[in-house]
Structure 1
């Protein structure tokens, strides 16, 4: 499987994090200057599906210049 947007974040010195925040499982992508994506894992969502959604969301956030935040918003 290919994750071009996740790879771009990592190659630019950014971070991808998946873990618990409170009771929620969260996947985030951050660069040295912002956090374009913060996703909450959906009920029954596989890890592979979460990564695919994270990759697509990074691309969408970059294209629209609008952060995606499911955790706080």
Structure 2
């Protein structure tokens, strides 16, 4: 598990800079993951069938990087 957390540098950096993540129910979505900084929502993901918690966190970390580095914002919740 420690190796996993060492890979989640974007989540760690976001939280260190007053951002936040949420894992769990998001509106009508039973299992989602969101990431927001102080100004905007960076990513909103829905857990895929058979996707592990670990894989969801890795995907969230990658989505945060895409939002910060490339202005690509993922919203799987508000389709």
Q: Same fold (TM over 0.5)?
A: yes
Aligned length: 73
Aligned pair in 2 of structure 1 residues 61, 23: CA closer, same or farther (>3 Å)?
A: closer
Q: Which runs of 5+ in 2 are unaligned?
A: none
Matches within 5 A, 1:34-49: 34-49=40-55
User: Which one of the candidate residues 7, 30, 50 is aligned to 1:24?
Assistant: 30
TM-score by length of 1: 0.91
Equivalences for 1:1-73 in 2 at 5 Å?
Answer: 1=4, 2-21=7-26, 22-73=28-79
**Structure with a larger share of its residues in helix:** 2
What is the aligned-residue RMSD (CA, Å)? Answer: 1.1
Structure 1: any 5+ residue segments left out of the alignment? none
